[in-house]
Amino acid sequence: MSRVRQLRALVRKDVLLEAHTKETIVAMALFALVSMVIFQFAVGQRAGDSSLIAGGIIWATVSLAAVLGVGRTWVPEREQRVLDGLLTAPVARLTMFMARAIVLTLFLLAVEVVIVPLGIVFFTRQIAPSDLALMAGVCVLANLCIAVAGTLLASMSVFSRARELVIPVLLLPALVPVVIAASGATQAVLGPGTQLAEYLGYCRFLAVYAAVFSLVAYATYDHVLDD
């Protein structure tokens, strides 16, 4: 039985559910949009060179929006009482994990398509086309980090009664290193003069973070869902 086929089916299922309900991406994007506007009113007019803080604002906003997305993980299964159907299927738990992480990465990318250009317009004066590619690199790496950590924590709390509280309390501290590194990489791109060495250093940190959390998920995910 092909794991790729199962993975594709699980990803397609989540995309179809989202296309029908539009509950997760719309909530994440609206929240992020409103947050960016609030940040613009709060600091946009006062900061001397706001490109220095643009990265922090973008990634703080993305990680808060991610809490909404992570919080919606497993909600259709719980609300529609289909979790037992999924858990009795002969699917490796790691395949379920990868599907969730891929879907969360896609949702975060959809939010960033709105947020990153808005952040550039609000907080920086100009950006070279080549810098957009570097920003895309930060987004992909940071999304992987958020998706891997978020999926693991969401699955750990799937049977918890207080999951709405548990997820932000556990996820936000876990994302602090991601916010620091992604903000640093963004500042290296959007700030005065692109600092390529600094950018690569932060990207390496993000890659290591994603790898470490992936290893933790690989080692524990069977027990997370089955026990």
Would you tell me which residues interact with another protein (CB under 8 A)? 1-2, 5-6, 8-10, 12-13, 16-17, 20-21, 76, 80-82, 84-92, 226-227
| Rounded Cα gap, residues 15 and 177, in angstroms | 29
Residue among 11 and 140 whose Cβ is closer to another protein: 11
Q: Of 40 and 95, which CB lies nearer to another protein in the complex structure?
A: 95
Work out how close the CB of 23 gets to another protein at its nearest, in angstroms, rounded to a whole number. Answer: 9
CA dist list (Å): 181 to 104, 175, 200, 207, 226 = 20, 10, 10, 10, 34
**Rounded Cα distance, 148 and 166, in Å:** 17
How distant, in Å, are the alpha carbons of 58, 65, 216 from that of 16?
Answer: 28, 21, 29
State the nearest-atom distance from the C-beta of 26 to another protein, in Å: 15
- Minimum Å distance from CB 82 to another protein? 5
18/112 with CB nearer another protein: 18
The two tokens of residue 171 are: 């996820």
Residue closer to another protein (CB basis): 64 or 106 = 106
